[in-house]
């Protein structure tokens, strides 16, 4: 396991970055105000979350008062119980619904991971469009931008610092993934984030960056959209299209097998399904494994 890094982005604002950012190795945020501390997301395993708690204690005089989950995926929420009940957990209303529906299903994909004790601990405060949270005097705008990576993605915008915690709507050096959300919705979400004009962006996975992350993720998604258009027109299956499509400039991104899951979503949208409509996620993951030739690597 590569050591996580806690990086100060501005006074009281920190990114907790877990390299290398692949499957289930996600980032978090720590915002320390005069009177309150806010945590953005947790981690996939008990061990990783307790390391995060140690870093919170290093930069904050108190444990988190508020925990914001950017979406329902286990690598961002499984560690919630480490900070609850002291921390009030806040998330989009669909995050609570889908977290409870998914349970520990993610564990079944990688049964050899030492997940530890991570009871499902859902948010107790939910919102529909946006909510404002304060870390002392520092204003945090929590904005629902899904469907994108999932149906329930929220970002945390710190306007006074021009810092954006983007959750998995944006990746850095890692292949974007919209199987459980929307390709078209992801592109719309990027437009909304661009309008905020952030100077620093903390992605859900990978290293901290700036506005170039908007361009990099958008470029991949536009390529994917055109690829799916051509594939549907040619009558190719998702697996056949993936097999004959070189990744080109995107070949160096981690977890390239996500192309297959992304094409399942892109095909659904090409065929007129609503944005964020449920798909057979297990079948898509099995196709990713078939395309990859083995189970994708997970270093949680």
pLDDT digits (tens, 9 = 90+) for 154-212: 999 999 999 999 999 999 999 999 999 999 999 999 999 999 999 999 999 999 999 99
pLDDT category, 2, cuts 50, 70, 90?
A: confident
CB of 174 closer than 8 Å to CB of 252: no
Q: What is the pLDDT of residue 11?
A: 97
Task: Domain 5-170: give its CATH architecture.
Answer: 4-Layer Sandwich (3.60)
237-251 core/surface letters (b: 16 or more CB in 10 A; e: else): ebeebbeebeeeebe
Q: What percent of the chain has pLDDT over 90?
A: 99
In angstroms, the CA 181 to CA 162 distance is: 26
**How would you class 25 by CB atoms within 10 Å of its CB: exposed for 0-12, middle for 13-18, buried for 19 or more?**
buried
Helix 183-196 vs helix 258-270: angle between axes, to the nearest 10 degrees? 100
Q: Does residue 281 register a pLDDT over 80?
A: yes
Predicted local confidence at residue 183, as pLDDT? 98
User: What pLDDT is stored for residue 1 in this prediction?
Assistant: 75
Q: What is the DSSP string of 220-268?
A: HHHHHHHHHHHHHHHT--HHHHHHT---GGGTTSB-TTHHHHHHHHHHH
The helix (H) or strand (E) run that includes residue 196 is helix 183-196
**Per-residue pLDDT tens over the stretch 133-156:** 999 999 999 999 999 999 999 999
Of residues 60, 152, 37, the one with CA closest to residue 100: 152
By three-state DSSP, how is residue 76 classified?
A: helix
Per-chain mean pLDDT for the chain? 97
Buried b (16+ CB within 10 A) or exposed e, 7-18: eebeebbbbbbb
User: Does the structure show a pLDDT above 80 at 20?
Assistant: yes
Q: How would residue 77 be classed by pLDDT, with cut points 50, 70 and 90?
A: very high
124, 25 in Cβ contact below 8 A? no
Q: What is the pLDDT of residues 222-254, one digit of tens each?
A: 999 999 999 999 999 999 999 999 999 999 999
Q: What percent of the chain has pLDDT over 70?
A: 100
Query: Beta 5-10 vs 13-17: how paired, if at all?
Result: antiparallel
Total-model pTM: 0.97
- In 3-state terms the chain splits into helix, strand, coil percentages (rounded to 5) of 35, 20, 40
End-to-end CA distance of the chain: give it in Å, rounded. Answer: 8
Cα 52 to Cα 40: distance, rounded to the nearest angstrom: 11
């Amino acid at each position: 396991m590569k050591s996580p890094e806690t990086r100060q982005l501005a006074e009281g604002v920190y990114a907790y970055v877990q390299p290398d950012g692949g499957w289930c190795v996600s980032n978090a945020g720590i915002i320390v105000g005069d009177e309150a501390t806010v945590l953005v997301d947790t981690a996939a395993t008990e061990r990783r979350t307790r390391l995060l708690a140690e870093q919170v204690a290093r930069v904050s005089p108190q444990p988190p008062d508020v925990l914001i989950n950017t979406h329902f995926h286990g690598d961002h929420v499984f560690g919630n119980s480490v900070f609850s009940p002291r921390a009030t957990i806040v998330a989009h209303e669909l995050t609570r619904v889908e977290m409870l529906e998914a349970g520990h299903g993610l564990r079944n994909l990688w049964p050899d991971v030492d997940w530890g004790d991570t009871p499902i601990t859902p948010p107790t405060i939910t919102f529909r469009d946006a909510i404002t949270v304060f870390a002392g005097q520092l204003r945090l705008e929590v904005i629902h931008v899904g469907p994108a990576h999932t149906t329930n993605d929220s970002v945390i915008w710190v306007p006074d610092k021009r810092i954006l915690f983007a959750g998995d709507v944006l990746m850095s050096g890692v292949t974007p993934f919209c199987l459980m959300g929307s390709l078209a919705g992801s592109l719309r979400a990027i437009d909304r984030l661009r309008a905020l004009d952030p100077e620093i962006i903390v992605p859900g996975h990978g290293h901290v960056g700036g506005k170039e992350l908007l361009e990099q993720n958008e470029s991949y998604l536009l390529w994917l959209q055109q690829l799916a258009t051509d594939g549907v027109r040619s009558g190719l299956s998702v697996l056949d299209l993936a097999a004959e499509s070189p990744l080109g400039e995107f070949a160096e991104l981690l977890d390239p097998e996500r192309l297959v899951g992304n094409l399942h979503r892109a095909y659904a949208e090409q065929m007129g399904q609503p944005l964020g409509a449920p798909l057979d996620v297990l079948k898509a993951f099995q196709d990713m494994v078939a395309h990859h030739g083995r189970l994708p690597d997970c270093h949680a």
